[in-house]
A and B are shown apart, each in its own frame.
Chain A
Amino acid sequence: MASEVLQAPLVLEYPFTRSTGPVIGAFLTGLREGVICGIRRADGTVLCPPLEYDPLTAEPLTELVEVGQSGEVLTWAWNGEPRPMQPFDRPFAWALIRLDGADTSMLHAVFADSPSDMSTGMRVRAVWRSEREGHIADIAGFDPDPDPAGLS
């Protein structure tokens, strides 16, 4: 006996709330206040986003420092079909962005109109949400920087 094939939407969702600890907490506090923090290693280099432990020596890291709000795209990938809850509802680029004053890169979205507007080494600038709560999404994304020399 043939029977109709059934289908139904199935959503699995976990509303996690995580404790941040003082390092990630300070990074998120900074985002809420509109600044971006990295953390300084013993050799003076700065990790952004900050880590609690040095990835090479495993030393605890404690000195959070402010970094710039513009930076350089180190690598990128085009996201042609954004999914719900991603940073933008139309195609955009995911990029690893090394902010000025930092030595490592942060993953975030770049609001470019097409892949041809993206290139490694391009300058981008953070776009802030007007209402911020202490979350990585307080940075809506990064715009290609029309004024890379910062002269305006």
Chain B
Amino acid sequence: MADDPLAPPAALAGDVTVPPAVAGAEPVQSVCTPIRLSYTYTPGRALSRYLQAMAGKRILGERCGVTGQVFVPPRGVSPLAGTTTAGVVELADTGYVDSFNITRVPIERRPDLKPPYCSAWIVLDGASVGFMGLVINIPPEEVRIGMRVRAVWKPDDELETSAANIGGWEPTGEPDEVIDDYERLGRVGGQQP
């Protein structure tokens, strides 16, 4: 019905005529169009310090001189105060799961990520913000918000200047954080300027 506003347009309904050379062929219905951007990434001074510390199995954050918040990974500036950070802070490699996601669909070219796996927003002890990590050595179904975790570092002879030195985060077995005060937990001096 030409007047039916919900009817698909002819061009999408398959109501097209094709030349003989195409008519008998199995129709193409999809096409792969990969997009690829290849960069040389220069992390800058703050992230370079962070990555170099990673080679020694240390995690560096930076403290905001205005609010006292501690940011990791450090960017050299405080995103809330808009100032350069006041100093470098070494953080523990323990923290808790702030939120998480279980992935059940494989990602092409990431055969190292075997579904189901759990990626989580992890707040380190002493940090004011979380960062991304994999939760490992526990069935994904048993991961929960507030669960205490510690970094699982790669073997010493595989360490690089890379955040990939942390292969994942495993449960410590400590009692869960009770997240009844979201602004306080793990968020040092969380006052906004």
Q: Does A65 contact B (CB under 8 A)?
A: yes
In Å, the complex CA distance between A1 and B38 comes to: 31
Residue in B13, B17, B47 with the greatest tally of chain A CB atoms within 10 Å: B17
Q: Which parts of B29-52 form the interface with A (CB within 8 Å)?
A: 29-43, 45, 47-49, 51-52
Q: Does B139 contact A (CB under 8 A)?
A: no
**Which residues of the other chain, A, contact B14 by a CB distance below 8 angstroms?**
22
In Å, the complex CA distance between A11 and B40 comes to: 8
Q: Does B158 contact A (CB under 8 A)?
A: no
Q: A22-B12, A52-B11 are in contact. Are A134 and B36 (CB under 8 A)?
A: no
Determine how close the nearest CB of chain A comes to the CB of B15; give it in whole angstroms. 6
| A62–B17 touching, CB < 8 Å | yes
| B17–A29 touching, CB < 8 Å | no
Question: 14 interchain pairs (CB within 8 A)?
Answer: A3-B49, A3-B52, A5-B42, A6-B161, A10-B41, A14-B34, A21-B12, A22-B13, A23-B16, A35-B21, A35-B22, A53-B11, A60-B11, A134-B28
List 12 other contacts, CB 8 Å, given A3-B45, A17-B32, A60-B11: A3-B49, A6-B161, A8-B41, A9-B40, A14-B34, A25-B28, A28-B28, A35-B22, A37-B22, A64-B18, A65-B19, A66-B19
